[in-house]
Structure 1
Amino acid sequence: MTAATAQQVLDAARARGWRVASAESCTGGMLAAALTDIPGSSHMMDRGFVTYSNAAKVEMLGVRQATLDAYGAVSEEVAREMAQGARALSGADLTVSITGIAGPGGTDTKPEGRVCFAVASPSGCHSETVDFGALGRDGVRAASRDHALDLLYRAATKG
Structure 2
Amino acid sequence: MYGFTIVENLQKIDQDIKRQELKYHQKRVMVSKEFSFDAAHHLHCYEGKCKNLHGHTYKVIFGISGFVDDIGLVIDFGEIKKIWKEQIEIHLDHRYLNDTLPNMNTTAENMVVWIYEKMEESLESDQKDCRVEFVKLYETPTSFAEARREWMTHE
Q: TM-score band (shorter)?
A: 0.3 to 0.5
- Report the structure, 1 or 2, having the larger strand content: 2
Larger radius of gyration: 2
TM-score after normalising by structure 1: 0.36
TM-score after normalising by structure 2: 0.37
